[in-house]
């Protein structure tokens, strides 16, 4: 078995998505060229009254991507969403994850331990985003589950607008999916599921309020809450990404979206965080 196939098998066993969480900004016009979902009404209550949107088009290393997300949370003065890509195929795993579970993937992917929780996520062909909610924003007062669900509901609306049959995973759907996975674990054919696309129906082991299309989990996320605010890191996979999805997603979160560029202050802080934390073996192998 190749190291990449083994890597996919590791991600499947851990029940996560396989390929299947500002000051000095430059503002520009709102997204006026993207039609809103016709199902929405003017009385819709959005999660955020305003939202800074950053399209980080320069790919970064796994460590730097994690560091930028943390720096963004430190400096965000209003809710912010950052869409980003990866310099090379990467694998992120949750704060409480064990390095030994992903070590075999290091030859094929850039490994990083996230600051948020959750399990293993393979990156490269996905659309990754982070949402930073400062503690002074009203949305921060909501429960973590409520924020998680509202963000994913906004994403599902954006997907529906593009013609996809997206929905949020219910408790019943999660239970049914886990039962199928439990059955598969007892079957030796399970080891091949990572490379057999026909076996992807429940490969992601969804949790409540994850985004599903035709029984497949296509988006999941993880959070971290601090006194500064809340960070949600998420990944969107196995859907068409180059059709304005990011813009529609942002517009479903707020009707007052403003494009911006991450400030040099944020990038400078991120480089320091990466050097002392995410790029170190001490952080990567801490468990």
- Residues with a catalytic annotation lie at 202
Q: What is the DSSP letter of 88?
A: S
212 three-state secondary structure: strand
The distance of Cα 223 from the centroid of its chain, to the nearest Å, equals 9
Two structure tokens written together for 40? 């929405």
Q: Which residues contact 272 (CB under 8 A, 6 or more apart)?
A: none
In the chain, the DSSP E strands lie at 51-60, 80-86, 90-93, 110-113, 121-123, 127-134, 166-168, 211-213, 216-225, 229-236, 257-260
Cα dihedral across residues 8, 200, 235, 208: positive or negative: negative
8 Å CB contact between 157 and 196: no
The distance of Cα 91 from the centroid of its chain, to the nearest Å, equals 12
Q: Which residues contact 181 (CB under 8 A, 6 or more apart)?
A: 15, 202, 205
Degrees (nearest 5) of the Cα angle 94, 105, 191?
Answer: 95
Task: Using alpha carbons, list the distances in angstroms from residue 63 to 59, 95, 266, 283.
Answer: 12, 13, 15, 10
Degrees (nearest 5) of the Cα angle 53, 283, 59?
Answer: 35
């Amino acid at each position: 078995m190749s190291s990449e196939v083994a890597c996919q098998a590791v991600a499947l066993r851990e029940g996560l998505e396989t390929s299947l969480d500002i000051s000095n900004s430059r503002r520009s016009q709102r997204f006026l060229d993207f039609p809103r979902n016709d199902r929405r009404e003017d009385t819709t209550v959005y999660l955020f009254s305003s939202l800074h949107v950053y399209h980080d088009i320069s790919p970064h290393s796994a460590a730097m991507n994690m560091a930028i997300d943390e720096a963004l949370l430190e400096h965000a003065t209003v809710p912010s969403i950052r869409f980003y890509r990866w310099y090379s195929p990467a694998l992120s795993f949750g704060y409480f994850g064990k390095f030994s579970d992903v070590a075999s993937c290091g030859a094929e992917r850039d490994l990083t331990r996230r600051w948020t929780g959750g399990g293993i996520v393979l990156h490269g062909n996905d659309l990754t985003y982070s949402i930073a909610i400062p503690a002074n924003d009203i949305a921060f007062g909501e429960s973590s589950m409520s924020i998680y669900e509202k963000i994913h509901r906004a994403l599902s609306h954006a997907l529906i607008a593009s013609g996809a049959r997206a929905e949020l995973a219910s408790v019943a759907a999660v239970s049914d999916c886990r039962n199928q996975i439990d059955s598969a674990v007892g079957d030796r054919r399970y080891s091949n599921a990572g490379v057999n696309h026909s076996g992807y129906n429940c490969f992601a082991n969804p949790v409540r309020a994850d985004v599903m299309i035709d029984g497949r989990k296509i988006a999941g996320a993880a959070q971290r809450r601090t006194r500064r605010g809340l960070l949600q890191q998420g990944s969107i996979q196995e859907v068409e990404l180059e059709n304005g999805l990011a813009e529609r997603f942002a517009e479903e979160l707020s009707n007052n979206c403003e494009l911006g560029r991450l400030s040099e202050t944020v990038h400078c802080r991120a480089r320091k965080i990466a050097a002392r934390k995410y790029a170190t073996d001490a952080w990567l192998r801490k468990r």
